[in-house]
Amino acid sequence: MSDLSTQPAEVLPDHPAEEINAHSPEKTPDKAEQNAEKKTPKKKQTKKKKTTAQLLTGFLIKLAAIVLAVWLLFTFILGLVIHYGNNMHPAIRDGDLIISLRVQRPYLNAAVLYEHDGKMCVGRVVGMPGNTIDISDVGALTVNGTAPAEEVFYPTYRCETSDISYPYTVGEDQVFILNDFRDDTSDSRMYGAVSMKDVKGPVLLMLRRRSF
């Protein structure tokens, strides 16, 4: 029979309350406190209303930006003109709206928008720099000794009021322009080749404004 008095006594912690608290869960807020926090209104950030002067200033700035963009577009990129007359009949008719691409150089057989004596005109390029243009007495047009491949069936006669002599050589940075309706001689047959700087680009778009 063992002696119970010889067994060591159980050692109790010095601070039992602290040990119990260390393992106990943290106190969570009750539902009343959570509901109170939800009911507390948050301060809303109010936006200041713009005054009439500020609204008007903003509108004018936007309008000025749009006007500037349109001006730049039709000054440096596109040309715009209403064509009057039948000198380009039947391809382009009286009253048609013509839009040209200024940034593209003119090319052979292209209908182009160009300026002459302060007036915007439309014509077709039949001769490039260095080409030799000849018009016979019977109305035959040749470029470098060959009839051009064009869809114009009118005979091409010289302008009787012009002192241009043929064969005619197109100068550097120039193009020779004729009307599609060749009876109208108000083109290069009258005033010679047109400078490249006066050409406002090939016709990009033609909008028919009249039904006839």
Give domain limits for the chain.
Answer: 79-207
- Can you tell me whether residue 9 is helix, strand or coil? coil
Q: Left, alpha or beta for 114 (phi > 0: left; psi -120 to 50: alpha)?
A: beta
What is the pLDDT at residue 59?
85
Q: What is the mean pLDDT of the chain?
A: 83
Tens of pLDDT, residue by residue over 37-80, are 555 555 556 667 778 888 888 888 888 888 888 877 777 789 89
Q: Reading across the β-sheet that carries 132-135, which strands appear in turn?
A: 141-143, 132-135, 168-169
CA–CA separation, 50 and 59 (whole Å): 12
Taking the whole predicted model, whether its pTM rises above 0.85 is answered as no
User: Cα(first)–Cα(last) distance of the chain, in Å?
Assistant: 135
What is the pLDDT at residue 50?
79
What's the burial of 113, exposed, middle or buried (CB within 10 Å: 0-12/13-18/19+)?
Answer: buried
pLDDT above 90 for 108: yes
15 against 120, higher pLDDT:
120
CA–CA separation, 53 and 6 (whole Å): 100
Q: Which class would CATH give 79-207?
A: mainly beta
Q: State both tokens at 130.
A: 């260095």
CA–CA separation, 139 and 152 (whole Å): 12
What's the burial of 189, exposed, middle or buried (CB within 10 Å: 0-12/13-18/19+)?
Answer: buried
What is the pLDDT at residue 44?
58
Tens of pLDDT, residue by residue over 112-137, are 999 999 999 999 999 999 999 999 99
Nearest to 123 by CA among 19, 211, 199: 199
